[in-house]
Structure 1
């Protein structure tokens, strides 16, 4: 069938003209959607250069290229380490790259007359990094922690990097190997109620609310800061923030920023900080400027979120008005840079502590799929992020209009034009100081559902990304940082992603609730693939106790999320799932087979909780991640997808402090069963 001119343009730009929906039906994308998305993209125009801006080579790909055009070119090849080669070549002829090139980033320059063209040459490994113990068959476990949920006798109302160090010590003492974290990305300290770690202002910098003030030397050394700290009101405010069941982000932010501003007045910049600022360059400077301007404007207009409410001449970091503000507020910019440095120093100390404790993975970080619409990232780089669109998911049975995540997509054409440097910078920022990186919605490496701005999600289309190149770069940075990669591959996953993850050494995610056969039976522990991380649940799903008691369904009903018929169907499904899980536990020997009480009448006793954890511990997955909420029998989730104001997402704390949790007899029984199960062969 001959394609229309519009369809041809869409396909050339990577826009799929149709897709298979949740019912297995082919659905055509409307012409209006194609036009809207084409108008948003930076598609290449004009005459193509002799070579593309970037070429990526993996071990299976011949290391040669074929410059287009006419006549003779002179060429120069410079390796990452500075060694150069040169010569001449004819257009249209295969050109072999210099031999024995090391993995890394090199540069090929072609010249013809007064013209010259540059192409980045990337030599990548086949697979991502895997530590030797895991490669030899060891099985490790760790805690999956939303850092803000941690309570302690010393934090200021939110889990912090001091708590993280304590968590690492306790997990290691009980036989664990890592602590997995929610995204630590920078949020909005001047507007702290915007608390979702998956809608950050930047994915390259850290959330300063995680700074442990107790570790800031300038705070302890400042007489004024100490006078403030010793006031009865200050101590009372900190105690009140610590005592809440949900994080009071406004109170925490006001306390911490006040303390840090007082400390900043005492601080004398040291060489390590100055070097950090120099290495951060313009990206860090604009991040700090954004935080400073947002703080200034929020004081005038508290509810005006992001840069969209600023005057038009302030809505881009490169505008003259912004540059003038920066020149007049150098101390303010340095203050926000200092907070990033403090956060980075404290997180790095946690990583070092994990290594001192002998942990193999130690810490793993979480990379969100995007940034918020009116964030610091979009403010300073509008070419890279397409504000005329947002990403989400197409319609399915539970969401007939699909999902709109309000995250602007990265433009794949702009990424390629820049030699994938934005992607490389992103990986480097998130692979530092950790042993593993979880990539949220790993399918984004292959495709994303783009929705024209202002439209509902059913008006979107899939846009493809250069998955082969991105996977290769991921493997290269993984090896360089000695950081393994975990892909969040839950839901409907295209077979190509499954194959590519397996071949590139990327761990898949196996959640107990989803590991069922078509007949409803739960897969036995021996069926879990080695190249995976297993878990009972995730931050978007009910806790083990919430699942068993159907508290998530009761909460959904309370929030008005279900029609009666849907709720009855889900309740019937849950009853069957509980019985199937109970049968699986008995079949695996995780609990006595003599316990024949039907699941409907079986409460989630401490013994049953231990049995579930024992079952998970025996899975063949090389990694096992467990939530403290499940050790403690908590029922309320940290997040209810599809809600904003209806539920306090990303706020609920653990029910006890760290000190109390690891002293709890039931928790100790769970962790002993896990430790024993992981060691069993």
Structure 2
């Protein structure tokens, strides 16, 4: 089929006119989606005449361009093709990040440098030059760790949801008592406040700044002085005495409502309480050392933190969707915004203070992990994108594609496709900036991390863009410079001395897993999905698993292992009306799936029940056997879903539901559904029995 002018224009801007959902099938992308994606990149393709004009302009631009806006140079590779294509005699001048001037690109230090090319005929071009290490180092030996949604892990000191104090306690215990090498948590990004707040950690207001709802208020150094000051004031003010007493009483009631009464985690109630307490804390003057540390944080974060705090302050007045604010305030650089920032400076300072306090407690949790002997420590999670009405989308508008949303095309798991409601980054603007917002985002997340998990890591290469208001089927892929995105990731992770784990589940285009593996980015392998898909379709034997991965039995988006083995997850979906076939058919398929795995475990001699047979083993034996299987694989990292240690049957998130199921609001529970505290976990014989299976991962 001949290439149309629109398809040619789209290809020159990285927009796909067709895609392949499977190796033997190619599907044309929606014409409207291609036109909309180009429009979001400031390219008019609305008419045949506009297409012709835009195509001529793009071809002329590329023909005259000496250098792309960003050039990538790997320390182990040949000179970049963009430099090799320059005319003979072209002079190259580089100003490094360190301010050093160099002639040529040989033996440059890793970093993002300024490159200037001058041809013999006097033409010049400037570009960002990314010099990245050839490969990230492998994990330090083989290790296992815990996977947990932090909000779900309450202790007897929590104020209604798990917090950073609980995380520090967990890492200290898991490292010292369990020999764990890491703890992986959900994204701790700042949420968009609402009524109620969206509890999903994967649709945040900001990915760069953590949410202060995770603060352990009592661990803020000024907290005891705030209580003392309040108590002193209470001697002359009964109202103040009542306020302080009520605040502490509410904290206890919030915790008891979840742990004793079985109520859902109420993020909004937790934040209301913590915000009130933190207002008291802020009234305490910082000592000279603390004040200097705060000023250093402000100076280091600069405009990005000021923007974030300004959005938070404006959201308190005008609501949490900046696109509905007064017109002048929708621009973070407008005179109206500058004036509002001055008028709200007290609130802006409150939110910058919260960012500083949260960053400090994250640092404490990572130090706790390392002090406990963990070779990796905290594994943070980077969500795919941000909420369109949130702080990042407001402050970085020039980097987001207006009118588009990220999602996924129809596939075997979802015939209608998916729309995640997240505005995508513009690949052209990223490249023109030398990937500045991406670099700063990674730097912030890696500051207190031993590793970083990248959700939907395939998004470094391409993303499915859906025009707003259209069905997910009416989208198309838009390509990013995967080499540059990967180089920036490797550069920043190597600087932080951190590992990178890519969540590469589902449909992955050819070459992506290989490219990630070549650069030392680990993959993600979940037991139930590891089958010989190109052959028998049966469970993949352990020796055929890849080594460079984090291997787990389940994740936050899947049924807990106990539920999978008993097929309880099918009954759950049936009760919510989510099945597309009869209950009997679904249960039969789920039972056959579990049965195939159990049969493999039996053949490998991994079942420890009476006689080692399937029929003689308990649920707990079977869960242990699945983890013995993970140990048989060459996987460098093995993850243990913390609820599996207690037989918890409830998924933390049930894809395809919104208000039908309490996604992201459940505390960790035992097999009967009774909420379990961190203190209970630390005394659980069932947990220690399962951990004993995995402690061999560090051998």
Aligned position for 2:509: 494
Structure 2 Cα separation of the partners of residues 489 and 496 of structure 1? 12
Is 1:549 aligned with 2:566? Answer: yes
Relative distance call for 1:265 and 1:11 in structure 2 (3 A) is: same
Contact 1:225 1:263 in 2 (8 A): no
Contact 1:292 1:333 in 2 (8 A): yes
Mapping for residues 314-333 of structure 1, pairs under 5 Å? 314-333=329-348
Q: What displacement does 1:375 show?
A: 1.2
Aligned position for 1:249: 267
Q: Which one of 339, 346, 357 corresponds to residue 342 of structure 1?
A: 357
Is 1:667 aligned with 2:654? Answer: no
Q: What displacement does 1:330 show?
A: 1.4
Mapping for residues 48-447 of structure 1, pairs under 5 Å? 48-58=64-74, 59-62=76-79, 66=83, 76-85=93-102, 97-110=104-117, 117-131=125-139, 133-134=140-141, 139-172=142-175, 173-189=177-193, 193-222=197-226, 223-225=228-230, 231-243=244-256, 244=258, 245=262, 246-268=264-286, 270-298=291-319, 305-447=320-462
* TM-score normalized by the length of structure 2: 0.88
Q: What displacement does 1:315 show?
A: 2.4
Relative distance call for 1:111 and 1:527 in structure 2 (3 A) is: closer
Q: What displacement does 1:659 show?
A: 0.7
Provide the secondary structure at the position in 1 that maps to 2:356: helix
Relative distance call for 1:368 and 1:128 in structure 2 (3 A) is: same
Structure 2 Cα separation of the partners of residues 210 and 287 of structure 1? 17
RMSD (CA atoms)? 2.6
Q: What displacement does 1:23 show?
A: 9.0
Provide the secondary structure at the position in 2 that maps to 1:280: helix
Provide the secondary structure at the position in 1 that maps to 2:597: helix
Aligned position for 2:546: 529
Aligned position for 2:630: 616
Task: List runs of 5+ in structure 1 lacking aligned partners.
Answer: 87-96, 299-304
Contact 2:557 2:652 in 1 (8 A): yes
Aligned position for 2:49: none
Contact 1:22 1:395 in 2 (8 A): no
Q: CA deviation digits over 1:358-394, x for unaligned, max 9?
A: 2111111111111111111111121101131001011
Structure 2 Cα separation of the partners of residues 480 and 194 of structure 1? 34
Relative distance call for 1:73 and 1:61 in structure 2 (3 A) is: closer
Contact 1:22 1:396 in 2 (8 A): no
Moved more, 190-199 or 59-68: 59-68
Aligned position for 2:671: none
Moved more, 15-24 or 556-565: 15-24
Structure 1 Cα separation of the partners of residues 477 and 185 of structure 2? 30
Contact 2:96 2:113 in 1 (8 A): yes
Provide the secondary structure at the position in 1 that maps to 2:452: strand
Q: CA deviation digits over 1:46-79, x for unaligned, max 9?
A: 7454322221111222268559999998764222
Structure 2 Cα separation of the partners of residues 534 and 70 of structure 1? 49
Aligned residues: 655
Provide the secondary structure at the position in 2 that maps to 1:419: coil
Provide the secondary structure at the position in 2 that maps to 1:270: helix
Contact 2:36 2:467 in 1 (8 A): yes
Contact 1:524 1:588 in 2 (8 A): no
Moved more, 370-379 or 586-595: 586-595
Contact 1:543 1:635 in 2 (8 A): yes
Q: What displacement does 1:169 show?
A: 1.5
Relative distance call for 1:560 and 1:252 in structure 2 (3 A) is: same
Provide the secondary structure at the position in 1 that maps to 2:478: strand
Contact 2:386 2:422 in 1 (8 A): yes
Mapping for residues 13-28 of structure 1, pairs under 5 Å? 13-21=13-21, 24-28=24-28
Q: What displacement does 1:127 show?
A: 1.1
Aligned position for 2:52: none
Q: What displacement does 1:666 show?
A: 1.4
Relative distance call for 1:192 and 1:283 in structure 2 (3 A) is: farther
Contact 1:129 1:484 in 2 (8 A): yes
Structure 2 Cα separation of the partners of residues 176 and 400 of structure 1? 40
Is 1:579 aligned with 2:614? Answer: no
Is 1:39 aligned with 2:39? Answer: yes
Structure 2 Cα separation of the partners of residues 68 and 468 of structure 1? 18
Provide the secondary structure at the position in 1 that maps to 2:563: helix
Q: What displacement does 1:259 show?
A: 0.5
Structure 2 Cα separation of the partners of residues 579 and 660 of structure 1? 32
Moved more, 452-461 or 568-577: 568-577
Moved more, 657-666 or 188-197: 188-197
Moved more, 570-579 or 178-187: 570-579
Structure 1 Cα separation of the partners of residues 79 and 312 of structure 2? 47
Q: What displacement does 1:189 show?
A: 4.7
Aligned position for 1:302: none
Provide the secondary structure at the position in 2 that maps to 1:3: coil
Structure 2 Cα separation of the partners of residues 539 and 650 of structure 1? 9
Relative distance call for 1:63 and 1:512 in structure 2 (3 A) is: closer
Relative distance call for 1:592 and 1:67 in structure 2 (3 A) is: closer
Moved more, 347-356 or 333-342: 347-356
Aligned position for 1:648: 662
Q: CA deviation digits over 1:172-228, x for unaligned, max 9?
A: 111111100111111135656212110011111101111110111222112345666
Q: CA deviation digits over 1:100-149, x for unaligned, max 9?
A: 22222221235799996431112112212334x32xxxx21110010101
Structure 1 Cα separation of the partners of residues 339 and 138 of structure 2? 48
Q: What displacement does 1:455 show?
A: 0.6
